[in-house]
A and B are shown apart, each in its own frame.
Chain A
Amino acid sequence: MPRVKRGMTSHRRHKKILALTKGHRASKHSLIRRASESMAKSLYYAYVHRRERKGDMRRLWILRINAASRAQGLKYGQFMNYLRESGIDINRKMLADMAVREPEAFSSLVTTAKEKVQA
């Protein structure tokens, strides 16, 4: 029977961890103890922030809609209220996209919403 030397499995495990912590600062990408702590943290942060991203995007859409509708003389809250009352059902993602890519369509949306509510 051939002689078995130790270290093979742990070396493979270490290699996997060090591959995941590439680019981390200081000793966190080279020393296995620091790297395994760093890997655990980074995977956890990635998991949490993937969930947080949904809210982050919604915040950004609202900010953009607000910027575009304020240019038309309506605050964000008023604009959304007018849209709801006039039965226009477009989500925030599309509204924000219209504000950037189709400014004319967005401004006509603001005027129709205004007219429908005030009529």
Chain B
Amino acid sequence: MKTYSTKPADIERQWHVIDASDKILGRLATQIASLLMGKHKPIFTPHLDTGDYVVVINAEKVRVTGNKAKQKLYYRHTGYPGGLKSVTLEKLMETHPTRALEHAVKGMLPHTRLGNSMRKKLKVYAGDTHPHVAQTNITQP
């Protein structure tokens, strides 16, 4: 008797809608990451993407604890000498309200091609509406 191995055709993908308002950034990101990876399903198979789609609304209202809004820094490098730029979480939320959550989830997914395909199933929106209303199999928050 062999352990069950999922075939790509056996994977059924649901859509989850998550309201991010007043949720803690990292704690929300772990939940989203495990849904995207499919760790909540008994058919989870490591070499396949068995995860669901996740739609996040109100991403601009996500919270952090302590002084992280002022102190947490996001770094990027322009490629030029001395080109390391940094921006605080507060500033990042003003300019790109969805980016902090996307970044947090990205760090929790596998850094592989499989991880990239998992990441494409995450749709983050700053406001309280999303365009995926036509999806069947979708849960409401």
Contact = CB atoms under 8 A, between A and B. Distances in A.
Interface of A: 57, 60-61, 63-65, 67-68, 70-71, 93, 96-97, 99-101, 103, 106
B1 interface: yes
Contact of B40 (A71, A97, A106): A71
Contacts of B46: 60
Contact of B3 (A60, A67, A70): A60
B41 interface: yes
A65 B4 CA distance: 13
By secondary structure, the A interface counts as helix
B72 to A, nearest CB: 31
A96 B42 contact: yes
Given A96-B3, A97-B3, A64 B44 contact: yes
B3 A68 contact: no
B3 A61 contact: yes
B30 to A, nearest CB: 14
Contacts of A106: 42
A97 B4 contact: yes
B3 A103 contact: no
Nearest to A61: B3
B31 to A, nearest CB: 12
Interface string B30-66: 0000000001111111100000000000000000000
Contacts of B45: 60
A63 B39 CA distance: 8
A70 B1 contact: no
Contacts of A57: 3
A103 to B, nearest CB: 7
A3 B6 CA distance: 61
B1 A67 contact: no
Given A96-B3, A100-B4, A64 B42 contact: yes
Which 4 pairs from chain A and chain B are nearest by CB?
Answer: A99-B42, A68-B42, A100-B4, A64-B42
Given A64-B44, A96-B3, A96-B42, 15 more contacts: A60-B46, A63-B39, A64-B42, A64-B43, A65-B42, A67-B40, A68-B42, A70-B40, A71-B40, A93-B1, A97-B3, A100-B4, A100-B42, A100-B43, A101-B4
B4 A67 contact: no
A107 B71 CA distance: 46
25 contacts: A60-B3, A60-B44, A60-B45, A60-B46, A61-B3, A63-B44, A64-B43, A64-B44, A65-B42, A67-B40, A67-B41, A68-B42, A70-B40, A71-B40, A93-B1, A93-B3, A96-B3, A96-B4, A96-B42, A97-B1, A97-B3, A99-B42, A100-B4, A100-B43, A106-B42
